[in-house]
Structure 1
Amino acid sequence: MRAPLSAISALWLLSTACATPGATPPNSGSSLREAERPFGTLRQQTERQQAWLKERLEVALPKLMRQYGVEMWVVPMREYNEDPVFKALVSGRSFAARRRTILVFHDMGPEKGVVRLTLGGGAQGGLYEQVRMQRQVDGGGAQRTAEPWGPDQWQMLKQVLQERQPKTVAINVSRTFAFADGLSHGEYEGMTEALGPEWTARLKPAGGLPVDVLAWRSADEERFFAEENKLAWDIISTAFSSTVITPGVTHVKDVEWWMSQRLSDLGLDTWFHPSVSVQRQGVTEAQLGQDPVIQRGDVLHCDFGITALRLNTDTQHMGYVLREGETEVPSGLKQALARSNRLQDLVVEELRPGRTGNEILRTVLGRMKQEGIDGTVYSHPVGLHGHAAGAIIGLWDRQEGVPGNGDHTLIPSMWYSVELQATSPVPEWGGQPVRSAQEEDVIIGADGRVRWAYQRQTEFHLVR
């Protein structure tokens, strides 16, 4: 039977006190939420995000526009129908487009740099020049500077184009990348109708530009990502321990909800609900059902992600519930984990800027087969989205490669979730295959070198 709510609440209080070093004990008279701010106050977080935005706009954007041959980039969107690239181009205090926001980027060359204009919407902490309009805003006939709105904005855009005379104008339309396809059909119709055939003829797809603008990460974002991954590790380590799990009592969904609640209590979010699953000797997945009670001798698996300061983690770890009298994990299970670790090595060794996702996948799978590993690789970028912008390295059901999404190339200063699984027969379980599925985040640095964002799992989490 399920543990009563009061028991689960007690477990939460205990784990909250134990899981975070230096946390205030529950009976201290202080608020746990006030005591635990893993990434600082909201103000500190937003200031940090603003510094990231400034560096992205001043350092990465000009380089990427020139790499893709984009002279001018226009990104229109309406409130609550934001372009996917929106979150890479605005401050931490901007949660939605304002009415209609049109962002314009014009590359004036290496000396003058990229001019950043916004036709509607805020200046994003002074990083954009706001283009306003004069109009009557009251019955007295007074002309005042007003926020542009509606069809007037398209005319303002046309005026910007006429003044600046770009040879081509990049827009976010793509049949390959969702991240490069943010221009809605209605916005496209309104824009082209106002611009007319001459300017419409100069529109062209932005290609991989929005993809790589989303993918690019700064050095301080890397430092933050290490902190974020460490927190993910800490939460998983507590979830897969006797602090949260009582064999024979705790259901897998109890653990999932504990992980989700833990994030909420820390003032953080997640981009997917945590999942926990069980593999058991002599029992099939169908026999286990959707929400089994965790028993001694079970192999545990979790998939868990944190969202903080708009950045996402993605982690899959393995756990083991010791049987009575056991002091360590059976050798066969250790070997299963070692095989998935080896498969991680192969992926990391092949992750290099300039290579496509499909190229990396083919190479890794060839090496995997040579080493006799029975596995699959389905790694992906991570960052401002969980399944983020960049080249996909396989899908769990598309090991032959992913046309389009897998043909994009990796860039320096981006992140990946190395996600994969290796299946191994376990002698102690009578040869029953056990799936060791792991996912660990890595950083591809500005120098192209790959390192674990925090560390990787090489030993099972233990429930004693």
Structure 2
Amino acid sequence: MIKTTAFTASLALALFPLAASAASSPAPIPAPIGMSEAEVAAPTVPPLLSARERAETENRLLAERLDTVIPAIMRAEGIDLWLLVAREYFEEPVVATMLDAENMHARRRTILIFHDPGAGKPVERLTVSRYGLGGLFTAAWDPDKQPDQWQAAADIIAAKNPAKIAVNTSDLHQFADGMTVSQYDKFMAALPATLRPRIVSGEGLAIRWLETRTPAEMALYPMIARTAHAVIGEAFSRKVITPGVTTAEQVQWWYRDRLLELGLDTWFHPSVGIQRKGAKGMLEGAEVIRPGDLLWTDFGITYLRLNTDMQHLAYVLKPGETEAPAGLRQGLAATNRLQDILLSQFAAGRSGNEALARARTAALSAGLEPSIYSHPIGFHGHGAGPSIGFWDNQNPDPRGAAPIRANTAWSIELTTYHAVPEWDGQRVDFRAEENAFLDGKAVRWIDGRKTGLTLIPAMP
């Protein structure tokens, strides 16, 4: 274990100036891997934590988040009480990220209350349930004195007399729509009539809680990304692929088996596709991989509650070849150029829609044929926060109207289309996806990016 770098410590103070004491004791880092602009050649899987070490790390990260992120976002949003409700096996997206590593699910009905008393006092964290949730919340309900759980919550809120009571309802964002109709009706029936007009949407709180990355999380993220890169490197090698024998779907299932061996999860079934001279579109499934094919994969892991989402390209060398055809290499270079253009348009406060429009204008002016569909990443693979385009919509979208914020992680997902001379001018799709972090001033790759095609020899 090593301590965080000076950069991480200074970022902690910049992120949470009101919680410098909490930021000065960040979670330990399992592996000394820092952010890098270039992906390392032939990455290997870093040492992975045991189940107990993972739980301890997750709990440490969560405690820091509750101490620092919650006060910051409640004060930024002008909310003095936030109510969240979940039921066992039906945890809403926000509550699911607030459960400690030993409490894998909400118990029966779990009600969480955050209350900011103002005057610089600490935000109170209460749970109206029988359990204290790993000591992170104070149990605030005695069923022997008040058998009605909803009435107990209403009594607590009435005693606090908040000006705004946020609950998670949203037409637009699934992450902020966790309050079900039945739970809302029960809550409103118990709440005094004088307080009901004070109910507001907790959309801003939910999104900002989920999208904000802490210094301790970002100290870990490069190791998580390196792990995913290493598994992709194994998949795109002769260890897994025998040209003329291995099918695309066999590589997909190899990924799943490899993650079982490592004790890791994936948040979506891996994709593997083939583009081939003279073949239309992406070949998948039972299609056999051949020399001369351009391979594509889309793969992501979940580790320590954080997700990766990556797309890489590989070329299967023909006998006698030592590199991919120039046209394929030029196609990837065009996609790298589009990545640079998009990153140059990241600015805290700028909407996702504006970043998309600016990047597309610059890319088209540079003679590229772009498609941009980037998104936040973190607790969810397709994370909370503004989207920057969609593969099926390159125009402004309500989901991209929110501002890009500092201290958020991103999946830079996009493609360019390029005519490959060696393939008789065939239009080829050069997809790429790598993960990055915006600290408010600059965007950095979390564990580099691919600037060359992975080469798979035709012969062992």
Query: Does TM, scored on the shorter chain, surpass 0.5?
Result: yes
Deviations 1:142-198 (A, max 9, x none): xxx8xx87xx11111111022111122011011111111110111001111111432
Matched, 1:250 2:246: yes
- What SS does structure 2 have at the residue aligned with 1:435? strand
Deviations 1:301-324 (A, max 9, x none): 000000112211000000000011
Matched, 1:328 2:337: no
Deviations 1:117-150 (A, max 9, x none): 0001532332211113152xxxxxxxxx8xx87x
Residues in 2 aligned to 1:300 and 1:20: alpha-carbon distance in whole angstroms: 19
Residues in 2 aligned to 1:121 and 1:181: alpha-carbon distance in whole angstroms: 25
Q: CA deviation at 1:448?
A: 3.6
Q: How does 1:62-101 map to 2 (within 5 A)?
A: 62-101=71-110
Of structures 1 and 2, the larger Rg is shown by: 1
The aligned residue for residue 460 of structure 1 is 453
Residues in 2 aligned to 1:309 and 1:325: alpha-carbon distance in whole angstroms: 44
> One-letter code of the match for 1:413?
N
User: Which of these residues, 318, 338, 344, is aligned with residue 339 of structure 2?
Assistant: 344
Q: How does 1:11-22 map to 2 (within 5 A)?
A: none
- What SS does structure 2 have at the residue aligned with 1:409? coil
Q: CA deviation at 1:248?
A: 0.6
Residues in 2 aligned to 1:132 and 1:74: alpha-carbon distance in whole angstroms: 15
Residues in 1 aligned to 2:48 and 2:125: alpha-carbon distance in whole angstroms: 30
Matched, 1:130 2:139: yes
Deviations 1:258-288 (A, max 9, x none): 11110111011000010100000011238x4
Residues in 2 aligned to 1:176 and 1:296: alpha-carbon distance in whole angstroms: 46
The aligned residue for residue 117 of structure 2 is 108
- What SS does structure 1 have at the residue aligned with 2:312? strand
Structure 2 spans left out of the alignment, 5+ residues: 1-41
Structure 1 spans left out of the alignment, 5+ residues: 1-18, 22-35, 136-144
Q: CA deviation at 1:41?
A: 1.1
Deviations 1:315-345 (A, max 9, x none): 0000000011100111111100000001111
Residues in 2 aligned to 1:408 and 1:80: alpha-carbon distance in whole angstroms: 31
The aligned residue for residue 160 of structure 1 is 156
- What SS does structure 2 have at the residue aligned with 1:419? strand
CA distance 1:236–1:121, change in 2 (3 Å): farther
- What SS does structure 1 have at the residue aligned with 2:338? helix
Q: How does 1:298-309 map to 2 (within 5 A)?
A: 298-309=293-304
> One-letter code of the match for 1:226?
P
Q: CA deviation at 1:352?
A: 2.1
Q: How does 1:50-65 map to 2 (within 5 A)?
A: 50-65=59-74
Residues in 2 aligned to 1:62 and 1:73: alpha-carbon distance in whole angstroms: 11
The ranges of structure 1 where at least 4 consecutive aligned residues each deviate by more than 4 angstroms after the TM superposition are none
Residues in 1 aligned to 2:245 and 2:449: alpha-carbon distance in whole angstroms: 30
- What SS does structure 2 have at the residue aligned with 1:55? helix
CA distance 1:64–1:300, change in 2 (3 Å): same
Asked if 1 retains the 8 angstrom alpha-carbon contact of 2:408 and 2:437, the reply is yes
User: Which of these residues, 103, 112, 118, is aligned with residue 127 of structure 2?
Assistant: 118
Deviations 1:190-236 (A, max 9, x none): 11111143222221111311011011111121122111111111111
CA distance 1:382–1:43, change in 2 (3 Å): same
Asked if 2 retains the 8 angstrom alpha-carbon contact of 1:87 and 1:384, the reply is no
User: Which of these residues, 377, 381, 388, is aligned with residue 382 of structure 1?
Assistant: 377
Q: CA deviation at 1:38?
A: 3.4
The aligned residue for residue 432 of structure 2 is 438
RMSD, aligned CA: 1.7
> One-letter code of the match for 1:305?
G
Asked if 2 retains the 8 angstrom alpha-carbon contact of 1:413 and 1:448, the reply is no
Deviations 1:380-432 (A, max 9, x none): 011101101111111101100211x2111122221100000000001111111
User: Which of these residues, 181, 195, 220, is aligned with residue 177 of structure 2?
Assistant: 181
Q: CA deviation at 1:110?
A: 4.9
Residues in 2 aligned to 1:348 and 1:239: alpha-carbon distance in whole angstroms: 28
If asked which structure has higher relative contact order (CA below 8 Å, sep 6+), I would say 2
- What SS does structure 1 have at the residue aligned with 2:329? helix
Residues in 1 aligned to 2:106 and 2:291: alpha-carbon distance in whole angstroms: 52
> One-letter code of the match for 2:419?
P
Q: CA deviation at 1:378?
A: 0.2
The aligned residue for residue 203 of structure 2 is 207
> One-letter code of the match for 1:344?
Q
| Percentage of matched positions with identical amino acids | 41
User: Which of these residues, 237, 249, 271, is aligned with residue 241 of structure 1?
Assistant: 237
Q: CA deviation at 1:245?
A: 0.7
User: Which of these residues, 285, 296, 303, is aligned with residue 281 of structure 2?
Assistant: 285
Asked if 1 retains the 8 angstrom alpha-carbon contact of 2:46 and 2:223, the reply is no
Calculate the TM-score normalised by the size of structure 1.
0.87
User: Which of these residues, 396, 410, 422, is aligned with residue 401 of structure 1?
Assistant: 396
